[in-house]
Structures are given as structure tokens and as C-alpha cells.
A = this chain, B = another copy of it.
């Protein structure tokens, strides 16, 4: 899986367990691809501070996934729901599988 997609999924699942400041900085640097310099000056911290916080957040998000494994679980479900969507000719089943996919 592409690193940016993996980071986005981890952030989507576990981001609320970070502090608000951690969430903002991680989102700006990793998901919105802002430069360290921009984010540092916006938040009044050093570039090194931003860099360290992003690494720490990445480790935290990964440690939640190592403990809980919920991203992995949901990816498996997503794959199967997509396959149901492909296979079924029944409108209600297609709608249900779409709704499952929207949850994920």
C-alpha cells in the first residue's frame, strides 16, 4: 500500500487519540504535504520540532494499529464488500454493499 494512503488510513482511524496540536501538524505535513518550514512558522515551533512531532505521531498511530489491528480488519471487509458489489445484480444488495463501503 502507498505510504500516503496508509498514513491517511491510520490517521482516519486513530487520529482522535492524538492531541489537537499533534493532529493539526501531522495532517498539514503528511496529508496536505505542507513544507516543514511553513508548518513550523505557522505553529511557532522549530522545523526540527515539527519533524520530531510528525515522527512521534507516526509511531503512535502505528502502535495503535499494532495493538488493535482495526485498519487491517476494515481493509479485509472493504475488499469483500467491493467483490459483492461487483458480483451482485440485485439492486438492494448493491445498495447495501455501497453503504458498507461508505462506512469504511
- Interface residues in chain A, defined as those with a beta carbon under 8 Å from any beta carbon in chain B: 13-14, 16-17, 64, 67-68, 70, 73, 76-77, 80-81, 83-84, 87-88, 90, 92-93, 96-97, 99-100, 103-104
Give Cα distance in the complex from A7 to B103, angstroms: 22
Give Cα distance in the complex from A92 to B87, angstroms: 8
A97 touches B84 (CB 8 A): yes
B68 touches A80 (CB 8 A): no
- Find chain B residues with CB under 8 A from A73 CB: 103
Selected from B76, B92, B93, the residue in CB contact (under 8 A) with A103 is B76
Give Cα distance in the complex from A103 to B71, angstroms: 12
- Find chain B residues with CB under 8 A from A84 CB: 84, 93, 96-97
